[in-house]
Amino acid sequence: MIFKLLAIFATVAGGAGLAWAARRGWLGAALARADLAAWVAKAAFGIFVPALMFRSIAVLDLRALPAPLLVAYFVPALFYLFAVYLGARRFAVPAHPAAPATRAVAATYGNAVQIGIPMAAAMFGAEGLGVHVALVSVHGLLLLVLATTLVELDVARHEGGSSLAGTLLQTLRSTVIHPVVLPVLVGFAWNLLGLGLHPLADWALQGLATLALPLCLVSTGLALVAYGLHGDLRAAAWVSLLKLVVMPALVGATAALAFGLDGQPLAVLVMMAATPVGANALIFALRYGCLQAETSLAIVISTIGFVITAPLWLALLGQFGA
């Protein structure tokens, strides 16, 4: 597990090194002037992440999804995202209309792939890994669709000039025509129609999808150089605390008390919720030009903090027989 974390830090450090070299002009004058963090984020969000989302949904065996476990995880997760969003709107005056939704994504969307998958495989074996992968398969769909809807509604409301119906129509259009939501919707339609993927198309999509996760980590490193560790430390620490402690506590309590889960299924859900802030939160922040420094700082703080909180959660789960 520690080597996986070190590999993640190494990839982020590679992105930081790339940005530093570009700033010093070692990669040419054009790159010295370019905003590499925004450029890589646009490439990841516009090409590679959509390929990952579409292929993941298009080839997914929908009948094999453990529906009760999905409900037990995503009911509290979606409620939690909305609650953090409302709290950010109420208690922190947003300098940007996208700020509340951006903070909500950071406090909810975990690094369920780069950290979550090796953790699930090491701790819970093949059966637990299967549950974790099922959660990951709809993780982005549900959380990012809700967050995108909220942020687009806030942006449309901020810009004004439209009636309520016009604002809702604009929000719906912006939410659907979105580089994450649209490929997911098309992927579901493709899957339900049973069209399948030609081997050539599957190979091409898989190649693009393979680059999505490293690019997200590299963009984190680029953002650290572009925005520095000068984000709002207090806000980033609060976001990290919400992600590492509050969210897994809520998911665990809801899954155990409301859905009667225990044992390994409960442990998988709690540890999924306990993963640190994911790189997609920074991609989200970069897309809307809001809280980039704070989000990149929250990724660093929460990933380091996860080394401490993960064993504590595992020990606590062990006390309850999970």
pLDDT at 54: 84
pLDDT at 1: 53
Nearest Cα residue to 219 out of 7, 37, 28, 18? 37
Which letter, b or e, does each residue of 124-158 get, where b requires 16 or more Cβ atoms within 10 Å of its Cβ? beeebbebbbbbbbbbbbbbbbbbbbbbbbbbbee
Nearest Cα residue to 216 out of 311, 280, 273? 280
Q: What share of the chain is helix, strand, coil (3-state, %, to 5)?
A: 80, 0, 20
pLDDT at 31: 63
Nearest Cα residue to 217 out of 40, 39, 46? 40
Helices (H), 199-260: 199-227, 233-241, 247-257
- Rounded to whole angstroms, how far apart are CA atoms 291 and 309? 25
pLDDT at 269: 95
pLDDT at 163: 57
Mean pLDDT by 10 residues, the chain (322 residues): 66 79 73 67 78 80 79 94 90 76 91 76 75 78 81 75 60 66 82 89 88 75 69 87 96 94 91 88 81 86 87 87 64
pLDDT at 93: 59
pTM for the model: 0.72
